[in-house]
Amino acid sequence: MAFFSFAEGSSMFDATPIENLFLIDFLPVAPEGCLRVYLYARMLALHPELGGDLSDTAKALHMEEEAVFEAFTYWERQGLVRRVTDRPPTYELLPVRAESAAGSAMERAYYAYRDFNAELQALFGTRMIESHEYRIANDWLNVLGYDQDAVLRLVKYGIETSRSKAKTPGPASVFKRMDKLAVAWADRGCRTLEDVERAIAQEENIYPVAEAVLKRFALRREPTLDELDCATRWVKEWKFTQADVLDACGETIKTAKPSFAYLDAILKSRLEKSGAFFDELKAVLRELDAAQAQPTPDQLQRYAALRAAGFEPETVRLAAVQCHRKKKTRFEDVEWMLKEWGAQGLYAHSDAEAYVAQMQRKAARVRALLEAAGLERHPTMNDLALYDAWQARHGEDVIEYAAACARGMQMPMKYMDKLLADWAGEDVRTVEDARARHEAARAAAAPSAQPGAANPALDYAQREYRDEDYGDDFFIDLDQYGERGDGK
């Protein structure tokens, strides 16, 4: 037993020193889980009696053992931890100063790339980069000859173009995909950040736009990074085509020295002039659930035509919500719907809103009749048209009785239509009249019915139905309209 030691539990009231250099250089970029592990490990180094192994540390921090192991691996790469044994893994802390990497060649390499590794990890947030993925990045530096800024841009581009649904894709998929691209671009002479930016611009069809502008300006050189930034804004943000950009070049004759900056101002002016309805259209595109609701010049012109035709902004937005409910997310779908509404004179928002509310109520009524007739489907526009015709001749109670009579028939809606047409000719006005006529007709048909004989009640024209017939294109639930902006 030691001559003198802390009493049990006294370490809880002790202090753990942390160097200011750590707080300045490491704290800002380290993942949260790694910080928790490192700070706890610093305390364990002073009081080893508080934890015996990786498992104890994981339990104390409420973390998975694998996450704790990854955290120690992260600090190994930062040059602040050295692994002493592998099975079981044990570690020792290194001082936070340059001499901490004065050990093995691997440690010196890790320390040499400490800031680079930290920036690389920061791109993925809490998704930890594995050792072999760091080796791929180091190969890009040491074998392919990229500089550090170029590698970081490569990885960032891989994250931006990932098809993963996660907010931040996993490092494994990004490095695997970008490794092939890094080799291909290196073969084309890419080494610097500027080289990579040009390659990305070429990949996204931005470089050809910048190149075409330089050719129009009679400049025989490659685009600079600033010029590529301009071209990126024109193509990706403002949605101009190469033809649009070259057309705007014609206005640069007003200056003796045409430049990308001057052309940028011209295109911005054009966008603003055509963007009198910019915010209105952007709201419409959001209702269509567009991931990037950025109006294009072409869409702005077509939207302006809709407004000139007399459609109010909220009418267009209402049509967009309706289209979204049908999973139709193109602006062309909105134009089609407004054409249908325009044929009915629905230009004002109040008229369109009243119409869709009426259609919603009618659809609910027809849906109840379909269920009474034994059908489980949404009403079609043809169903709604039949219902309008029935209402013109009969009361709701007679229509409901016809639905009950049609239950079990092969084509219930057509059967109802025939019944109601017959009853209208026989001056049926009440349910009692309808019941009497129906029972009399059944009784008259019963003696002549023979096995296999055709049922005269089914002798009517029948229609083939398609999936698109079962839609509700022209009505929405107005109680839900506008709450979330997605119509759901």
Whole-angstrom distance, CA of residue 415 vs CA of residue 426:
17
Tell me if 320 sits within 8 A of 352, measured CB to CB: no
Q: Which residue has the tokens 């034994």?
A: 374
Angle between helices 349-372 and 412-425 (to 10 degrees): 100
The CATH fold of domain 279-352: Arc Repressor Mutant, subunit A (1.10.10)
User: pLDDT digits over 83-110, tens only?
Assistant: 888 788 888 888 876 444 444 444 455 5
The token duo for 193 is 């950040």
Residue 155 has pLDDT above 90, yes or no: yes
Torsion angle in degrees (nearest 10) through CA of 475, 480, 485, 486: -60
Report the pLDDT value the prediction gives residue 182, as an integer from 0 to 100: 92
Whole-angstrom distance, CA of residue 366 vs CA of residue 309:
33
Secondary structure (3-state) at 85: strand
Domain ranges of the chain: 15-112, 114-202, 204-274, 279-352
User: pLDDT digits over 341-372, tens only?
Assistant: 999 899 999 999 898 888 888 888 888 888 88
Q: Before 88, cis peptide (omega within 30)?
A: yes
User: pLDDT digits over 405-445, tens only?
Assistant: 888 888 888 888 888 888 888 877 888 888 888 888 888 77
pLDDT band at 192 (very low <50, low <70, confident <90, very high): very high
Average pLDDT of the chain, as a whole number: 80
Question: How many CB atoms are closer than 10 A to CB 452?
Answer: 5
The phi and psi torsions of 82 (rounded to 5 degrees) equal -125, 130
Whole-angstrom distance, CA of residue 408 vs CA of residue 29:
70
DSSP 214: H
The winner for highest mean pLDDT among 83-97, 216-230, 275-289 is 216-230
Whole-angstrom distance, CA of residue 383 vs CA of residue 367:
9
Same fold for the domain at 15-112 and the one at 279-352? yes
H runs (alpha helix) in 217-277: 225-232, 242-248, 260-274
Region of 74 (left: φ > 0; alpha: ψ -120 to 50; beta: rest) is alpha
Secondary structure (3-state) at 301: helix
Report the pLDDT value the prediction gives residue 454, as an integer from 0 to 100: 52
Query: How far, in whole angstroms, is CA 344 from its chain's centroid?
Result: 35
Whole-angstrom distance, CA of residue 273 vs CA of residue 270:
5
Query: For the ranges 134-138, 163-167, 239-243, 324-328, which has the lowest average pLDDT?
Result: 163-167
DSSP 93: E
The phi and psi torsions of 393 (rounded to 5 degrees) equal -115, -20
pLDDT band at 151 (very low <50, low <70, confident <90, very high): very high
Q: Which residue has the tokens 């937005």?
A: 317
Tell me yes or no: is domain 15-112 CATH 1.10.10: yes
Whole-angstrom distance, CA of residue 388 vs CA of residue 392:
6
The token duo for 474 is 């022209």
Residue 275 has pLDDT above 80, yes or no: no
* Whole-number percent of the chain with pLDDT over 90: 14
